[in-house]
Amino acid sequence: MRGLLVLLAGCSASSGQPTYEPVVSQFCGPGTGCPNDEVCTRSNECAPTSEVRTIHVNWTVGGMAASETSCAVAQDLTLSFSGGGHELTFEPVPCVEGKFSIDAMPTWYDQVRLGQRGRVAEGSLDDNGEVALDLDL
């Protein structure tokens, strides 16, 4: 029998107004699957194929292409995706690569944050799942 996890919407009154987060009806991962019309995403959530895409994050460092020289003060970075009350973080991300791609990401992840030690570049993914950032290290 397939396991199903149902979470109730969260509510926070810190700003005086309730804030509701999306409901995740099923998590997936190694050994567990999703219903036939959904795929298991990199965030281990089941989502309809129409709500899944490949994401490409490109970056420069101080306006220069990522390289051994431009990344000298930050060899490894932290990359976070957020949206819809969810966050997914990858680290370490090698600065010198200048690009990070990930397939099977839910479309509700629409914000990107890249950085290290308080120096951060942020942006929004476009409709194609791409963003270009400039990190000032």
Indicate the CATH number of 11-135 among 1.25.10.10, 1.10.540.10, 2.60.40.1120, 3.40.50.2300: 2.60.40.1120
Q: Please report, for residues 18, 22, 42, 46, 52, the alpha-carbon distance to residue 9 in angstroms, rounded to integers and kept in the order given.
A: 11, 6, 22, 17, 22
Rounded to two decimals, the pTM is 0.77
Q: Look at strands 52-61 and 130-135 and give their pairing.
A: parallel
Q: How far apart are CA 96 and CA 118, in angstroms?
A: 19
pLDDT, tens digit (0-9, with 9 covering 90-100), for 33-92: 888 889 999 999 999 999 999 999 999 999 999 999 999 988 899 999 999 898 999 999
Cβ neighbours for 51, distance < 8 A, ≥ 6 positions apart? 106, 107, 108
Task: Give 55's strand partners.
Answer: 102
pLDDT, tens digit (0-9, with 9 covering 90-100), for 24-41: 447 887 767 888 889 999
Q: What is the pLDDT of residue 132?
A: 98
